[in-house]
Amino acid sequence: MATTAEYGLGEFTFPRGWFMVAEANKIGKAPYSVRFFGQDMVIYRGESGQLHMVSAYCPHMNTHIGKSSTSFMAQQGKQIEGESIHCPYHGWRFGPDGVCNKIPYSDKIPPLAKLKSFKVVERYGVVFHWHDPEGGEPDYDLPAIPEWDDPHYVKWDIDHLGSMNLHPIEVVDNIGDIQHLAPVHATTKFYYFETILHGHVAQQLLGGRHELLGADAGMSEFNTYYTGPGILLSRYVANNANDSIMFICHTPIDDGSVFVWHAVLSKPSDRNPTEEDIATAKAQQQMSCDAFAQDFEIWSNKMPCFRPMQMPGDGNFLKVRTWYRQFYNPRSATADILARSEGRYIIPGVPSAEDGGARKEILEAAIAG
């Protein structure tokens, strides 16, 4: 398990950005425990329905407030009161700001009786957390998915790929990597390939033919992009199917390990989905998940790669890794990092998106154009 320092990414152990921390439907009437960014946290839903996330250990006696299912308070479903959460050991109550607001047997509350509180947002059936080692407010938005509210789309169920003892930089490498597509994903012809790095977005434009879709399959087109270091969307049309959106999130657990999720939002037909449409959408998500699992298996069994032995035809790993460094350094360093990484990068012998006949929608989505 290699660390951020070993990759030489910057000052911070964990990156700045928006990250997935849970499925929203997993948060019910009981506290939900998670571990990310090297710390244990608890997510809970207040009686208003609002989600909150606080550090896990009660300052009274370092009790994990989310790890009790047998205490009387937990069995009675009384850990959540209003927008506050109780420690199940002695009943101390903490508000969503982390401040203790009640001790059942004392009128005096110590000023240090506080949990850390963390910014979370519920969107697209996901709980997202803004993580910033400098403690700043978000400097970019979550990605927009207007299709989520389109009644013709079948909403996703989240696939949990699980954890890997792998630094997330090696997952991000894929955004610029063309040559893994043939041996891993059976891409037999490239009509175009281009990587665009701009601000907090890293984008891959791909048009290719895939052997697994059949000998007569036409060009499949993908507009794939990271919004920050941990949220990836890929809008694609494969073999003349309706538009679909693949969703991949990865979030650091500890320094050198990461948890990964996958999902697909798809529109099987131009109508409110029938049972048949839903089944088609689920099958499409499973096919996408199986393809992504091919990457996941390789990542899970590789040694750390601190500096790729890059060939001209690989894709520009070093520019992608330079772009990625902006999230591990103070915001004041961002402009300098982007000056060394922003641009459009093509592969020798492979057309750019414009030269390769990409759809109008693909070209309009080229954010650095």
DSSP 300: H
3-state secondary structure of 44: strand
Q: Which residues of 89-105 are buried (b: 16+ CB within 10 A; e: fewer)?
A: bebbbbbbebebeebee
Looking at residue 171, its pLDDT comes to 98
Looking at residue 237, its pLDDT comes to 81
Q: What is the DSSP string of 46-109?
A: -TTS-EEEEESB-TTT--BTT--SSSHHHHTT-SEETTEEE-TTT--EE-TTSBEEEBTTBS--
Asked whether residue 229 carries a pLDDT value surpassing 60, the answer given is yes
Task: List, in sequence order, the alpha helices (H) in the chain.
Answer: 4-7, 72-75, 169-172, 181-185, 275-300, 317-324, 334-339, 360-364
Asked whether residue 368 carries a pLDDT value surpassing 80, the answer given is no
pLDDT (average), residues 197-213: 91
Stated pTM of the model: 0.95
Whole-number average pLDDT of the chain: 95
Domains and CATH numbers, the chain: 17-131 (2.102.10.10), 146-364 (3.90.380.10)
Asked whether residue 152 carries a pLDDT value surpassing 50, the answer given is yes
pLDDT (average), residues 179-202: 95
The single-letter code of the amino acid at 261 is: W
Q: Are strands 120-123 and 244-252 parallel, antiparallel or unpaired?
A: unpaired
**285-324 tens-digit pLDDT:** 999 999 999 999 999 999 999 999 989 999 999 999 999 9
Tokens of 112: 């240090």
Asked whether residue 264 carries a pLDDT value surpassing 70, the answer given is yes
